[in-house]
């Protein structure tokens, strides 16, 4: 059984101007998501700027999220690292807090072989009991987790259950689905490809868009699963301009700017990420107004 079906939000981590985590605003963002039908919360992923959180902050944010969500929707914690031992440490600690699952990214910078990736994920999974979703985002990590490796992991390791596929390569997803034979829960990691991935048998999306449009992102999935493929496709296409604007600079710069424009006070990014360029801010504002959220 899938950890979740539908639209899970890859939630931002709000900061104060001094760079500290703003837990008050984080609580408000969590409530905004749940009130608007989000199907799962994915905390401390790429969008949550996990790479610039200390281990203590990282775990504190996960613990706070689990406590605030209080079982209303599944909480999936990002616990990946390019160091296997660090990923094991973060995963074991997150499990203690009661997360419903873990999202574990391919090790960045190291550029492991497929056999190295297999051993990395297997060692992490065997250190915990909660289900794990692999996270393939080669554009950010320089490392592509190939379909055969994903299928091998899901078949060999009982608590590796799926993958967030953010390669942007629909042909690769189709190859994965053809090999999986139902053994892999696949989630889109690209907001502009939700419907195409669902059409191949995907379970949903782990979404940046959902930060600012949770109900609409939920509805793209819900309509599809209800059999309203045309309605789902219409919602997907309506969101394309906004999806483009949300990725006109590296994530999460635009989505944090969007939340700030909405008055949600997500705060600044941590360095080395910087403030959004004025021309891109104008593009984002225009897309948000056209979409009806500003």
Instruction: Determine the average pLDDT of the residues in 216-220.
Output: 98
For residue 278, is pLDDT > 90? yes
Out of 118, 135, 187, 291, pick the active-site residue: 135
Percent of residues, the chain, with pLDDT higher than 70? 100
Confidence of residue 117 (pLDDT cuts 50, 70, 90): very high
Beta bridge partners of 235: none
Instruction: Determine the average pLDDT of the residues in 175-201.
Output: 97
The mean-pLDDT minimum among 33-37, 99-103, 107-111, 238-242 falls in: 107-111
Which pLDDT value is given to residue 1? 75
Percent of residues, the chain, with pLDDT higher than 90? 99
Look over the chain and give the mean of its residue pLDDT values, rounded to a whole number.
97
| Structural domains of the chain sorted by starting position, each given as residue range(s) with its CATH number in brackets | 6-229 (3.20.20.70)
Residue 118 and residue 171: Cα distance in Å, rounded? 22
Out of 68, 164, 256, 283, pick the active-site residue: 164
Confidence of residue 242 (pLDDT cuts 50, 70, 90): very high
- Which of these, 117, 173, 168, 108, lies nearest to 142 by C-alpha position? 108
**What secondary structure, in 3-state letters, does 159-194 show?**
CEEEEEECCCCHHHHHHHHHHHCCCCEEEECCHHHH
For residue 206, is pLDDT > 80? yes
- The answer to whether 147 and 175 are in contact (CB under 8 A) is yes
For residue 243, is pLDDT > 80? yes
Both tokens assigned to 292:
């009806």
For residue 263, is pLDDT > 80? yes
First to last CA, the chain: 38
Phi, psi of 110 (to 5 degrees): -60, -35
Is 164 part of the annotated catalytic residue set?
A: yes
Residue 222 and residue 92: Cα distance in Å, rounded? 33
Is 135 part of the annotated catalytic residue set?
A: yes
pLDDT, tens only, 77-100: 999 999 999 999 999 999 999 999
């Amino acid at each position: 059984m899938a950890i979740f079906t539908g639209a899970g939000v890859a939630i931002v981590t709000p900061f104060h101007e001094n760079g500290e985590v703003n837990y008050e605003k984080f609580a408000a963002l969590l409530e905004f998501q749940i009130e608007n039908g989000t199907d799962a919360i994915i905390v401390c992923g790429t969008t949550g700027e996990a790479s610039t959180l200390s281990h203590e902050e990282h775990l504190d944010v996960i613990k706070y999220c689990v406590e605030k969500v209080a079982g209303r929707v599944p909480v999936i914690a990002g616990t990946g690292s390019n160091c296997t031992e660090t990923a094991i440490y973060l995963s074991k600690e997150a499990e203690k807090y009661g997360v419903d699952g873990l999202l574990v990214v391919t090790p960045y910078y190291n550029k492991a072989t497929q056999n190295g990736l297999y051993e990395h994920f297997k060692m992490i999974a065997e250190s915990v009991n909660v289900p794990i979703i692999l996270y393939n985002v080669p554009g950010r990590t320089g490392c592509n987790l190939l379909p055969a490796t994903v299928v091998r992991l899901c078949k060999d390791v009982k608590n590796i259950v799926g993958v967030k596929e953010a390669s942007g390569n629909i042909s690769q997803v189709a190859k994965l689905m053809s090999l999986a034979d139902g053994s892999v829960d696949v989630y889109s990691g690209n907001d502009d490809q939700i419907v195409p991935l669902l059409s191949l048998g995907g379970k949903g999306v782990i979404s940046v868009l959902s930060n600012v449009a949770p109900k609409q992102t939920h509805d793209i999935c819900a309509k599809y699963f209800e059999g309203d493929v045309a309605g789902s496709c219409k919602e997907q296409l309506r969101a394309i301009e906004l999806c483009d604007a949300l990725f006109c600079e590296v994530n999460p710069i635009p989505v944090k700017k969007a939340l700030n424009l909405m008055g949600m006070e997500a705060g600044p990014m941590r360095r080395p990420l910087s403030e959004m360029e004025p021309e891109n801010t104008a593009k984002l504002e225009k897309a948000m107004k056209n979409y009806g959220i500003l």
